[in-house]
Chain A
Amino acid sequence: MTAAMTAAMTALSRRTLLLAPALLAALPRARAASPRRIVSIGGAVTEILYRLGRGGEIVGVDSTSQHPAEALRTKANVGYVRALGAEGILSLRPTHVIAVEGAGPPDALRLVEQAGVRIVRVPEEFGEEGTVRRVRTVAEAVDAQAEGAALAAEIEEGFAKLSAVRAKVTRPAKALFVLSLQNGRPVVGGRGTAADAMLALAGAENAASGLTGWKPLSDEGLIAAAPEAIVTMAHGPGGDAPDPFALPAFAATPAAAKRRLIVMDGVYLLGFGPCAPSAALELLAALHPDRAGTARP
């Protein structure tokens, strides 16, 4: 910061007074004293910023920032989280870039940092503690410690309520998370995925725990997994999802016998933002209607 200011000062001393105002306006670092201009990279980061009441300070978001819907509608879109361009971000004259871990390419973000923009990296974590940690990191970056503490407390309370409901689940439902059904071939969430973490929070057993990551599942593997419920994502605002039970392999599962298909919004369910506890509670209620049917939020 000081080095940047010195550089700016030497530059100023060399130029006529006429040029100085234009130059100052062009300097992102010279605006540090003026209001924050945040570029928010990652759906959860954007959601947290809005919940902290800092939505007005956001000037740009990435294409995964779908909650709240106004983010993508009213802010500049700097592209996909992993395919960003340095100039695109700099053109918004940000003071802060708050990005999920894994945003990139790294060289582009390094250039943005070189330009004097503060880059805050938010770890990509699933689960209770991780969600709270992310809120705290973002809150600290935008000087919203009080709001951050309140939001963290709210999320912790949500998780506590969830765990009380989860304790009432005597027999975990065996569920399978289906990401897509391209050509009738299911891609399911195995260990280490956000879906796996969400199923665990919802007191369910992941029927695909034999796999790691998002993997295609064979028909036989699907029948062997014997899920009692299928969880999948709604596509688009209409919320329609393909009917898996039309496929023979799915028809042979216990889930088909009970027609238990749970369709939820993907970002809501897997984003692990501030609404993670309520998403988990909703999923738990849907998976265990007999035990927790009255616990719907």
Chain B
Amino acid sequence: MTLAAAPRSFPEGKRLPALPLDRRPLLFAGLLVALAASGIAALGLGATGIPAARALSILAEAATGRAASGGDALIVLQVRLPRLLLGLLVGAALASSGALMQGLFRNPLADPGLVGVSAGAALAAAATIVLGDALLAPLVGPLPFAALPLGAFAGGLLTTLALYRIATRGGRTSMATLLLAGVAFGALSGAVMGLLSYVSDDRQLRDLAFWSLGSLSGATWTKVAAAAALILPGLLLVPALSRGLNALALGEAEAYHLGVPVQRVKAAAVLTVAVAVGTSVACAGMIGFVGIVVPHVLRLLAGPDHRMLLPASALAGAALLVAADTVARTLAAPAELPIGILTALIGAPFFLWLLLRRRGGLLT
């Protein structure tokens, strides 16, 4: 019980309602405005000059069943809209998974990758890139382009389930064992990925490098549908876990005596994270930063109550990723920047500013 037992690991451990209760609707309103703004920007900005008003009218046309056609409609309906929706789903999935993991491990350094899902997905994806043609083609048959996302998703899910089994004895899951097993698997997967990159050729190596920076480029309606089917049920389940996670902050035994079904909360949280992050990695590659920092920012803004933290993280993660993707594909247009770089470039200074502001400066 090392990290998991540390009390008051949350920066705001003692001040439970950091934001007065009556100001919470304000926070949600602000997040919704940010989400809407980033969504409209995502539809109205891009390499092709289609202003937001035109993009929205194309959307309205398509929604009322009047077949919108033409170059602009194609770009809005087949390129920008699926990208926007995939960004919303992946951002919400990563940020709320981060909030779940930090609550579950009672540690602000926890990130969604801790339960092995990112490492497993990355390992499977690397194996698909390097050995794919020979190894996986027979398995996926006529869908060779689906090999990478399917492989990544399966790898993430299987790894998490295996680690969860390792950490569970007699119906009780030890979070410390899960953490350590996750660290061990992370090291193992790092080593195997090194081996894979050693045997890979020039082209595969570049594929690995770009995949590990993450990208929403190549978002299609098929991907959006698959991501929605896998991520949305988890996101809808997440708020039901808030009471359990709030109680867990006091300690596992205390939560148990408060009547929280501790084991079920753990299992549900781990499974949700595995599916949500596995899907995100499968659709968009590795996008760091969102999962670990978005929940922190929300905790600094509004306190550690999970009833607020979980939905707010989902909204903020979605808005951040959509905004980052919009910048990624417009800044160097017609070329694109990797989104993983931008989530950190947009989010990290804001996070630092928030830390300094909340603490009244580092030197005081």
Contact = CB atoms under 8 A, between A and B. Distances in A.
A28 B71 contact: yes
Given A8-B69, A83-B215, A91 B74 contact: no
Nearest to B69: A11
Contacts of A285: none
Interface residues of B, number: 39
Given A26-B70, A27-B71, A193-B202, A106 B218 contact: yes
Interface stretch (A71-79, A158-166, A251-259): A71-79
Contacts of A175: none
Contacts of A11: 67, 69-70
Contacts of A83: 210, 215, 217, 336, 338
A87 B202 contact: no
B200 interface: yes
Nearest to B218: A107
B329 A88 contact: yes
A238 B338 CA distance: 30
A115 interface: yes
B335 A79 contact: yes
Contacts of B70: 8, 11, 23, 26-27
B217 A90 contact: no
Contact of B48 (A91, A105, A114): A91
Interface residues on A, range: 35 or more
Given A8-B69, A87-B46, A87-B80, A82 B206 contact: yes
B79 A86 contact: yes
B178 to A, nearest CB: 34
B47 interface: yes
B133 to A, nearest CB: 12
A83 B218 CA distance: 10
A7 B69 contact: yes
Contacts of A8: 69-70
A66 interface: no
A63 interface: yes
Contact of A87 (B79, B220, B223): B79
Interface string B203-222: 10111001000010111100
A168 interface: no
Nearest to B82: A111
Contacts of A102: 203
A10 interface: yes
A88 B78 contact: no
Given A86-B79, A91-B46, A192 B69 contact: no
Contacts, number: 118
Interface in A53-94: 60, 63, 76-80, 82-93
A215 interface: yes
Nearest to B216: A85
Contacts of B218: 86, 104-108, 111
Contacts of A82: 203, 206-207, 210
Interface string A100-134: 00101111101100110000000010000000000
A88 B336 contact: yes
B75 A63 contact: no
B332 interface: yes
Interface in B36-88: 46-49, 66-67, 69-72, 74-75, 78-80
Contacts of A93: 71
Contacts of B217: 83-86, 105, 107-108
A197 to B, nearest CB: 13
A91 B74 CA distance: 12
Contact of B335 (A85, A110, A114): A85
Contact of B145 (A88, A107, A213): A107
Contact of B202 (A60, A77, A214): A214
Given A90-B71, A106-B145, A111 B220 contact: yes
Nearest to B83: A87
A66 to B, nearest CB: 15
Contacts of B79: 86-87, 90, 111
25 contacts: A14-B66, A23-B70, A79-B332, A79-B334, A82-B206, A83-B210, A83-B215, A83-B217, A84-B217, A85-B329, A85-B334, A87-B334, A90-B75, A91-B48, A91-B334, A93-B71, A105-B215, A107-B218, A108-B217, A115-B78, A193-B202, A212-B199, A213-B199, A213-B202, A214-B202
Return the 6 tightest CB-CB contacts between A and B, nearest first: A79-B335, A107-B218, A88-B334, A91-B47, A26-B71, A11-B69
Given A111-B79, A115-B75, 4 more contacts: A82-B210, A85-B47, A87-B80, A91-B49
